[in-house]
Amino acid sequence: MTTDTAFPYTLARLGVIMEPLPGDEVEAEGVLNPGSGRGPDGELYLLPRLVASGNVSRIGLARVELDDGVPARVEREGVVLEPERSWEQGAQNAGVEDPRVTFVTPLGVHVMTYVAYGPLGPYTAVAVSDDLRAWRRLGPVRFDYDDAMDVDLGLYHNKDTVLFPEPVTDPDGVPSLAVLHRPTWDLSGIRPGEVARPPVWLEEKRPSIWMSFIPLDAALGDVRALARWSKHRFVAGPEFGFEELKIGVARLDRVSAAE
């Protein structure tokens, strides 16, 4: 796919700035999928997923160091979120994974959506912070049920979520915070042979991008409203060959010849 749209910026590959530390058990299986944010000190930080042996994931904090204004390396500053809650721990797994961090301007806080890999598989959870270091869990996301849509999104695995930094209007014109996410109907990767039943009206059954909303007044009144999403809408499904398996806010996947 090509485009004639002119963009006011260019992208350049700068190379790897963070990789697993040899001998560090917390990073034995990788460092990947970081969120990012500006701390109160004005510095740029990464919040990477740190994967220990047995696919146990934590979320770390690393300050980005620059060479002549270009990101070159990181200084690790520890772990900021561990899989410590029961809903972040399964029988043979545990994890807080794939953080997406947004500074939500009207609330004046950093909001992290992350994957809690718990007893029933991967589900989206929310935490908030003033400084990127101390995070307050708001718990797993709750999805309001809409009978006209014939779907309870709370029943399905959901990953790859991110909030918009500024308010928008929801389908009813209410000033709201919007979040993109990816419910998944096929559970075979988690529980072999099991496929969930998607809503009958949904033509695209592959994992796709959806949008949900949080009324701004509710979030301003109680930050816990960030973990309750409503007015869900299908936004976009896979279309091109390089996204034939699934798409998400930060991921495109295709099926390889070997698969």
pLDDT in tens, 158-171: 989 999 999 999 99
Question: Which CATH number fits the domain that encloses residue 81?
Answer: 2.115.10.20
In a domain, 19, yes or no: no
Element (H, E) at 8: none
pLDDT computed for residue 1 by the predictor: 47
pLDDT computed for residue 191 by the predictor: 60
pLDDT computed for residue 214 by the predictor: 98
In a domain, 2, yes or no: no
What is the residue-wise DSSP string for 173-219? S-EEEEEEEEEE-B-TTTSTT-B----TT-S--S--EEEEEEEHHHH
In a domain, 105, yes or no: yes
Q: What residues make up the domain containing 126?
A: 25-253
**Confidence band, pLDDT 50/70/90 cuts, at residue 4:** low
In a domain, 70, yes or no: yes
Which of 7, 64, 11, 19 minimizes the C-alpha distance to 38? 64
In a domain, 192, yes or no: yes
Look at residue 121 and tell me whether its pLDDT is greater than 90.
no
- Only one residue has tokens 């279309």, namely 239
Q: Which residues pair with residue 37 across a beta bridge? A: 45
Look at residue 11 and tell me whether its pLDDT is greater than 70.
yes
Look at residue 243 and tell me whether its pLDDT is greater than 90.
no
**Confidence band, pLDDT 50/70/90 cuts, at residue 93:** confident
Q: Say how many C-beta atoms besides its own lie within 10 A of residue 57's C-beta.
A: 29
Q: How many domains does the chain have?
A: 1
pLDDT computed for residue 255 by the predictor: 47
pLDDT computed for residue 96 by the predictor: 97
